[in-house]
Amino acid sequence: MFDLQIVEAETPPHADHVVALLRDYVLWLRRRYVKQIDVIDAYFDEREWESELADLKGHYGAPFGGVLLALVDSVPAGCVMMRGIGEDVCEMKRLFVRPAFQGMNIARLLTQRLAKLAAERGYATMRLETGKLQTEAQALYRGMGFCRIAPYYEVSGWFKDNQLFFEGKTREIAAGVLETRCPELIAA
C-alpha cells in the first residue's frame, strides 16, 4: 500500500517539484516521439518553455487556473494543470506521471481532481489535446467521458495530422459519471 496525496502546488517547494516533473515530461515525450524530436523541440521552444517553468503561477495559477501535484509516499509522482480559455471553458495541460508510478491510477485521480477544481472555479467544460502516439492517454480520456472534438485552436503541419483534441464536462469527469454520449467526430 502507498500513501497518495494530490495537492494544489501553491508553495515554492511544490512548484519546484512540478518544474522537475515537467522537465521529465519533455524527456519522456522526446523518447516517445524519437523520430520527431525536432518537432517536440520546436513545440517546447526553449525561451518560452523556460518562461513557463519560471512562472507556473502566472501561466496556470488561481483564480483562473490550477496546478496539481501528486505525491506518493511524499515523492513527486505526477502533475497536471489547467488554464481558462473561455468564460466557462478551461484547458487541461501537461498531465504527466513518472514511469515508475504509472499503473497506480494516478493520472485518472489527477484528472478527476483537476475537473473538480475546474468546476469549483466556474468551468463547465474542459478541453485538452494529446498526441496520436499517446494511446494510454487517449484510452484514459475516453474512459473518463471525454469526447473527441475538432481542434479548438489553429493547428498546421505535423500537428494537424498528429494531435487529437478532446472535451468533457467538468462535473461528470470529477464525479466519475459516464453520462456523456460522444457524437461521431466530424473531420475538421
Would you state the pLDDT for residue 188? 42
Q: CATH number of the domain at 60, please.
A: 3.40.630.30
Which pairing describes strands 65-72 and 163-169: parallel, antiparallel, or unpaired? unpaired
Would you state the pLDDT for residue 185? 54
Q: Give domain status of residue 182, yes or no.
A: no
CA–CA dist 166, 157 (Å, integer): 19
Q: Give domain status of residue 27, yes or no.
A: yes
Q: What are the beta bridge partners of residue 131?
A: 163
Q: Give domain status of residue 49, yes or no.
A: yes
Q: Give domain status of residue 95, yes or no.
A: yes
Which pairing describes strands 147-149 and 89-97: parallel, antiparallel, or unpaired? unpaired
- Full residue range of the structural domain in which residue 83 is found: 4-175
What is the number of domains present in the chain?
1
Q: Give domain status of residue 180, yes or no.
A: no
Would you state the pLDDT for residue 146? 96
Q: Give domain status of residue 121, yes or no.
A: yes
Give the C-alpha distances (Å, rounded to integers) separating 8 from 61, 69, 80, 127, 166: 10, 6, 10, 20, 24
- What are the 10-residue block averages of pLDDT along the chain, 188 residues in total? 94 97 96 92 91 95 95 98 97 98 97 98 98 95 95 90 95 82 58
Q: Give domain status of residue 85, yes or no.
A: yes
Q: Give domain status of residue 33, yes or no.
A: yes
Would you state the pLDDT for residue 179? 59
